[in-house]
Chains A and B, each alone.
Chain A
Amino acid sequence: MKVNILYLIPLLLLFGCGEKQTVARYTSWQSSQTEEKIIRQTLRNFEKKYPNISYQFQPIPGNYTEKLQLMLGTGKAPDLFWLKGDTSPAYMSFDVLEPLDSFLEQDTDFEIDDFFPVFRDAFKYRGKNYGVAKDFNAYVLFYNKRMFAEAGLDTVPTTWQELYTFSKKLTKDTNGDGKIDQYGFVIEPSIDIVMPFAYQNGGEIITEDGEIKIGEPEFIEATEFMMSLYRDGIATNPADVGAGWMGDVFSRRQCAMAISGAWLIPYLKDNAPNLEYGVVELPRGKRKATLAFSVAMVIPKQSTHKEDAWQMLSYLSGKEGMKTWTESGIALPTRKSVAEENGFYQDSLYSVFMKSVDYAKLYKVNMQERWFDDSQAAMQGIFYKKKDIAQTLQELAVTLEKYKLD
């Protein structure tokens, strides 16, 4: 232990002090090599167009949120960085981000109105825009075409009731050993799986005015519906079949339907290239709804290169940059014009996501970060300990009161 520290000292003395930022720094995470390749391609295009802006690209490979927090806290934050939609309310409430409204007004080429309405004001807090939604993903329903055909089903489920009956028909013991090895559906004890169904049922976690609604009948009903699929044995759970996540269960052909975002498409290409699947909109409840995930590009208040950072943001989330970033389909564009140019409205898979955008609700809950872990614990209690759903959610509603942002 002491030896380690001894070695560190000269290093710290050499590199730790007097670090001066002379150019704008851009930071992102990287979840795959494909992603990194496209980011670098986009940046090369940017350099060609804006040769006068010098910048540094500093990706953070792991523990992104933790590292970013420390960088912001010690005044060393990058000038432009990615911020996950679900962590954005906390950052916006801490007042560490630069409002982008004046940039948005001056930069007439940017055309914020080109963005889908749900993303246009996605990162607005107290009347100010703090980020631009760089891309998105949304929950849709993936289904296994062969299993549907085997069960004699030639339509897809469009309502809750159908989701239930279809799951029941698709659950079976294929090899006759007395154990079910094909489930109709798969769910995880996770709040974000319940959320789209709660929205469809008119429920909400917290309203715009800050009223907590997770303990209300609408939310409880949706949770009960999702749980009934599992408790009645027609949906499985990744842990039950030794899979890592829901998409993994689907790729192993252990379930006929799964909710997922577009990230499942490249995963299936790599892990189950022969699986024939289709993508449809989520079955609807009282109304259509789904959950959209987005990532913001933001500029911190402490940045000393705000003009350059905006220039970068404006290019990367502009029509040109977003096209390069999204045309391969690793992410979906938040601009309507880019979606059209990419031909996503004609594509049998991507058009479903584009349709979902019209009624999707952004996954961004205006509460302190801890709301998520407490809600997750409640879901796990319901799932694994068979706790009473209504009571658990009502208790959760009381707990969440503490996490309102002031």
Chain B
Amino acid sequence: MKFKSRKKEQFFWGYLFLAFPLLLLTVFVFFPIGFAFAVSFFDWNLLIPDKPFVGLGNYIELFKDPVFIKAIKNTIIYTAGVVPVQTLLSLFLAFIMNQKIRGRAFFRTAFYIPAITSSVVTSIIFVWIYSKPGLLNYLLNSAGIESNIDWLTNPLTVLPSIMMLNIWTTSGYFMVSFLAGLQNIPSSLYEAAKIDGANQWQQFWKITVPMVRPVTYFVVIMSLIGCFQVFDQIFIMSSGGPDNASTTMSYFVYQNSFKYFRFGFGAASAAILALLIFATTVIQKKYFPPDAY
């Protein structure tokens, strides 16, 4: 083939290689996103051929729906609770795992195993741990703290309990990201700090934290998105109950679409969720950019 210029040739081959993945992404990702957004303006019941256009009707109904308002609140509480703790914990774990301590490989594996275990399995295990005669109450009582509640049917404890589970499962995953970041920090920085008399604590805050900032940025965004979309743990552990105390936005979307036959309404709530995630990411990018320190 002949090309008028080298640039055009690169253009052609570049897009040729991209064509197949792009086609797949279009069919399975971009089109469904657009389609779901379009569906949110209809009263869309899969089983009824007549799907009337309702404009913003679904959105207006959403904000009048007390369960949806509760779902937004729960989702925000969930995210605000999990993300900071998770990020700090995984950085802390990575910092320790980066030291030359005995049994390092074992601990790294131990912390990473929850991340690669199916969320269904971990959720079921935690249903038992949180039950009234379960391990958590046993440990608390052994430690002298009187505790006799069922953590998953108590409206006050159900959401924090599921948050704890999520922190436990994903901290190990993000620990690995932080480990990679830590290993990129030149040891000369620490040596220089030591000569200047900085202790471990100071080294951590003044060298480690600023140097892994790009990784932190990645971790925060990924865990924000993950938290906003939390579904499987809720589905298995509490079904959104009791009294919608743990209904999250994703669970609301699922309920309305697949249980109540209301795909339009479900799509509208999914669109709000997408908007929320998008807005949070934009704010983060603007005020906490990855490369400024």
Contacts and interface: CB of A to CB of B under 8 A. Distances in A.
Interface stretch (A38-46, A169-177, A238-246): A238-246
Interface stretch (B34-42, B186-194, B255-263): B255-263
Interface in B65-109: 67
A95 B48 contact: yes
A117 interface: no
Interface in B151-187: 152-155
Interface stretch (A69-77, A197-205, A290-298, A351-359): A69-77
Given A69-B258, A69-B261, A94-B45, A2 B24 contact: yes
A5 B261 contact: no
A385 B242 CA distance: 9
Contacts of B132: 239-242
B244 interface: yes
A316 to B, nearest CB: 24
Interface size class of B (residues with CB under 8 A): 20 to 34
A156 B256 CA distance: 44
Contact of B46 (A2, A69, A369, A373): A69
A242 B131 contact: yes
Contacts of A383: 242
B259 to A, nearest CB: 6
Contact of A370 (B24, B28, B260): B260
Contacts of B153: 239, 380, 384
Given A6-B24, A241-B132, A385-B243, A373 B255 contact: yes
B134 interface: yes
Which of A70, A189, A378, A380 has its CB near the most chain B CB atoms (within 10 A)?
Answer: A380
A66 B46 CA distance: 11
A136 B243 CA distance: 30
A267 interface: no
A91 interface: yes
B241 interface: yes
B241 A70 contact: no
A369 B261 contact: yes
A296 to B, nearest CB: 16
B131 A73 contact: no
Contact of B21 (A2, A65, A96): A2
A239 B137 CA distance: 13
A400 to B, nearest CB: 13
B195 interface: no
A329 interface: no
Interface in A363-403: 368-370, 373-374, 376-378, 380-381, 383-385
Contacts of B241: 376-377, 380
Contacts of B155: 380, 384-385
A90 B261 contact: yes
Interface string A168-203: 000000000000000000000100000000000000
B47 interface: yes
A70 B155 CA distance: 34
A9 interface: yes
A242 B259 CA distance: 28
Contacts of B46: 69-70, 72-73
B55 interface: no
Contacts of B45: 94
A91 B47 contact: yes
B28 to A, nearest CB: 5
Given A90-B261, A239-B153, A384 B243 contact: yes
Nearest to A77: B47
A219 to B, nearest CB: 18
A204 to B, nearest CB: 22
B133 interface: yes
Contacts of A376: 241
B57 to A, nearest CB: 13
Interface of B: 21, 24-25, 28, 45-48, 67, 131-134, 150, 152-155, 240-244, 255-256, 258-261
Given A65-B258, A69-B46, A383-B242, 9 more contacts: A66-B258, A69-B47, A69-B258, A69-B261, A94-B47, A96-B47, A368-B260, A377-B242, A380-B243
18 contacts: A5-B28, A6-B24, A66-B259, A69-B258, A90-B261, A91-B47, A94-B47, A95-B48, A96-B48, A240-B150, A241-B133, A242-B131, A370-B259, A373-B240, A377-B241, A384-B154, A384-B242, A385-B155
Considering the complex of A and B, which 9 residue pairs feature the smallest CB-CB distances, nearest first? Answer: A73-B46, A380-B242, A242-B133, A381-B243, A239-B150, A380-B243, A94-B47, A239-B153, A242-B131
